[in-house]
Amino acid sequence: MAATYLSRLAHNSAGQEVFNAVMRDLLAIPTLRTHLLSAAENANIEQQMQAFQKSLREERKPDTSAT
């Protein structure tokens, strides 16, 4: 069921930004994290997960523009 949900979320009409926001919220729940990551592997959403991971890395980059 989680793989189906993630697949539909990944292919939603609102795009990658909504996928990223929902995944960020869901993965913040410790009891869901392992289950969702496992389901993501079975949901055929590799491109969306790669884009999500890239967005997380970009969020963590320090802002050096003010120096």
pLDDT in tens, 20-39: 999 999 999 999 999 999 99
Alpha-carbon distance of 65 to 36, in angstroms, equals 35
What pTM, to 2 d.p., does this model score?
0.81
pLDDT-based confidence at residue 66 (cuts at 50, 70, 90): low
Alpha-carbon distance of 62 to 27, in angstroms, equals 22
Look at residue 14 in the predicted model and tell me its pLDDT. 94
